[in-house]
């Protein structure tokens, strides 16, 4: 069988969202460390979200479009040792309930969050023999928050409820006048100001290869990052504010990547990617718990397991292509967190690569159908159905 290398990790879309499975935007790609010789590569993926609901997000998507870029470089020191680094946009939340429309004025005061995590990973791979190699490294995560406006809906609900109860009603039976009082209070609030912070976590991998049949199985472990970002509450006009800490981080990851030749110039590949998100909740500092009744984490992330399985085919010496099926199994069909916008997903990815001796360019497309979920918290039930994500990416690799 001819050797076949489709660089299957080059467009690992990681169609992750601000959802029950955390906020991963792009995965760590280690495939370049198994390439021969020295190289540099540049890539970018554009993700377009269409996420609407029955009560929130009635006019535009609740999740904003986003991009994920990466840069990788590898230097082969000798036959046994290779050094590499890769920079990528590892995490992102772009949620805007306030500009997406709602059935009532109160429904337009949901969270508006713009959070990113940029990662830089340093890797060193040592080849034990022709079949086994190990990689050790570290990943630096820097978190930046441009917007963390998450309390307006809670303010609106609290004031609406209080106004309604003064007139013998409840939050569920509040009239237009009650809702207007809540909306005015929410509009008077300003946003928390959140500083940036960073953390460093370990990376460990072990790989088994059998080049004559294009077999490679790799296990990657990445530690959990944890940050504490100084936050100045901005809810002037509603409550007294003070400085506190907002906390969060990327989950602990365990990934299995595999590929093997199954026929002449044909490759079977896949992955299992687990994130321990239940231990990596986001919590925006809340110094107004007595007023708002806030407690615990802002998010309600759950552990996630994502799968992919595909086939790659080398058509000519220069052109190859791939198709894969990507999915996350369904979990609970209901949620009480406005950050959860789907219940699993199913998607298809297509890729094509054109390669010369020392240069290659690849492109890929992914279409994902998000699983339906219903928000059951206040002030109204919100059914999120028939939502989708599409992604288009490209990558250039130069060897020297």
Residue 30 pLDDT > 70, yes or no?
Answer: yes
Q: Which of 38-47, 207-216, 282-291, 352-361 has the lowest mean pLDDT?
A: 282-291
Q: What is the pLDDT of residues 124-165, one digit of tens each?
A: 999 999 999 999 999 999 999 887 777 677 677 777 878 888
Contact 243, 298 (CB under 8 A): no
> Pairing between strand 373-375 and 334-335?
parallel
| Listed range (18-22, 96-100, 375-379) with the worst mean pLDDT | 18-22
**The pLDDT of residue 101:** 81
Residue 3 has what pLDDT? 45
For the chain, report the end-to-end CA distance as a whole number of angstroms: 27
Q: What is the rounded distance in angstroms from the CA atom of residue 83 to the CA atom of residue 381?
A: 52
pLDDT on residue 54: 93
* Average pLDDT estimate for 392-397: 92
Mean pLDDT to the nearest integer, 366-375: 94
What is the model's pLDDT at position 39? 97
The residue ranking higher by pLDDT, 108 or 373, is 373
pLDDT of residue 71: 96
Higher pLDDT, 365 or 179: 365
Residue 264: is it exposed, middle or buried by C-beta count within 10 angstroms (0-12/13-18/19+)?
A: exposed
In order of their start, the domains of the chain are: 31-151+189-399 (2.40.160.60)
User: What's the rounded mean pLDDT across residues 262-268?
Assistant: 93
Least confident window among 53-57, 266-270, 294-298: 294-298
Q: For the chain, what percent of residues have pLDDT higher than 90?
A: 56
Q: How far apart are CA 159 and CA 186, in angstroms?
A: 9
C-beta separation of 13 from 45 below 8 A: yes
The backbone region for 243, taken as left when phi is positive above 0, alpha when psi lies in -120 to 50, beta otherwise, is beta
- Going by pLDDT thresholds of 50, 70 and 90, the confidence category of residue 240 is low
- Sign of torsion, CA 108 114 115 119? positive
User: CB-based burial of residue 242 (10 Å sphere; 0-12 exposed, 13-18 middle, 19+ buried)?
Assistant: exposed
State the alpha helices, DSSP H only, in 71-205. Answer: 152-166, 176-188
Band of pLDDT at residue 380, cut at 50, 70 and 90: confident
pLDDT of 17:
41
Q: In the prediction, which pLDDT does 237 show?
A: 53
pLDDT at 15: 41
For residue 242, the model assigns a pLDDT of 63
pLDDT of residue 244: 74
E-strand ranges in the chain read: 39-50, 66-76, 81-96, 112-127, 132-149, 193-194, 197-210, 215-222, 227-232, 243-248, 253-263, 266-275, 304-314, 319-328, 334-335, 345-355, 359-370, 373-375, 382-384, 388-399
Which has more confidence, 173 or 370? Answer: 370
Q: What is the pLDDT of residues 327-355, one digit of tens each?
A: 999 988 998 888 889 999 999 999 999 99
pLDDT tens digit sequence for 83-114: 999 999 999 988 888 878 877 666 667 788 88
**Window from 66-80, 185-199, 362-376 with minimum mean pLDDT:** 185-199
Sequence-separated (6 or more) residues with CB below 8 Å from residue 350: 321, 322, 323, 364, 365, 366
Q: What is the largest CA-CA distance in the chain?
A: 80
**324 vs 11, residue with greater confidence:** 324
Tell me the range of 51-55, 110-114, 287-291 where mean pLDDT is highest.
Answer: 51-55
Condensed to tens digits (0 to 9), the pLDDT of residues 173-205 reads 788 888 778 777 777 666 777 889 999 999 999
Strand, coil or helix: 96:
strand
How confident is the model at residue 184, as a pLDDT? 77
State the average pLDDT for the chain.
85
Residue 378: per-residue pLDDT = 74
| Cα 227 from Cα 249, distance rounded (Å) | 6
DSSP structure string for 243-292: EEEEEE-PPPEEEEEEEEEEETTEEEEEEEEEE-GGG---B---S-HHHH
pLDDT at 301: 87
188 neighbors 238 (Cβ within 8 angstroms): yes
């Amino acid at each position: 069988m001819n050797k076949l290398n489709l660089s299957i990790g080059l467009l690992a879309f990681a169609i992750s969202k601000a959802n029950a499975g955390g906020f991963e935007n792009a995965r760590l790609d280690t495939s370049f460390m198994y390439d021969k010789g020295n190289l540099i590569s540049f890539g970018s993926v554009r993700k377009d979200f269409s996420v609407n609901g029955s009560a929130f997000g009635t006019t535009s998507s609740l999740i904003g479009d986003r991009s994920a870029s990466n840069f990788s470089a590898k230097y082969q020191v000798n036959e046994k040792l290779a050094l590499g680094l890769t920079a990528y946009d590892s995490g992102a939340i772009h949620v805007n309930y306030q500009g997406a429309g709602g059935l009532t004025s109160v429904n337009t005061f949901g969270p508006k969050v713009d959070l990113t995590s940029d990662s830089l990973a340093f890797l060193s791979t040592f080849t034990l023999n022709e079949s086994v190699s190990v990689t050790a490294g570290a990943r630096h995560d820097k978190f930046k928050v441009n917007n963390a406006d998450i309390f307006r809906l809670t303010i609106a609900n609290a004031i609406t409820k209080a106004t309604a109860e003064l007139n013998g009603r409840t939050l569920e039976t509040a009239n237009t006048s009650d809702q207007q009082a809540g909306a005015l209070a929410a509009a008077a609030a300003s946003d928390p100001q959140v500083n940036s912070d960073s953390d460093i976590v370990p990376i460990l991998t072990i790989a088994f290869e059998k080049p004559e049949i294009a077999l490679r199985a790799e296990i990657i472990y990445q530690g959990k990052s944890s940050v504490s970002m100084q936050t100045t509450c901005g809810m002037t006009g509603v409550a007294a504010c003070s400085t506190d800490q907002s906390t969060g981080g990327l989950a602990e990851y365990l990934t299995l990547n595999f590929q093997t030749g199954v026929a002449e110039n044909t490759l079977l590949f896949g992955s299992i990617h687990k994130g321990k998100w239940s231990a990596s909740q986001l919590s925006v500092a809340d110094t107004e718990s007595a007023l708002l009744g806030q407690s615990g984490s802002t998010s309600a992330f759950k552990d996630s397991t994502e799968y992919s399985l595909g086939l790659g085919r080398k058509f000519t010496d220069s052109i190859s292509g791939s198709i894969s099926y990507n999915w996350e199994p369904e979990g609970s069909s209901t949620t009480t967190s406005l950050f959860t916008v789907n219940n699993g997903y199913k998607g298809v990815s297509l890729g094509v690569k054109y390669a010369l001796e020392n240069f290659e360019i690849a492109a890929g497309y992914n279409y994902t159908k998000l699983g339906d979920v219903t928000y059951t918290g206040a002030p109204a039930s919100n059914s999120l159905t028939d939502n989708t994500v599409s992604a288009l990416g490209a990558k250039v690799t130069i060897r020297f």
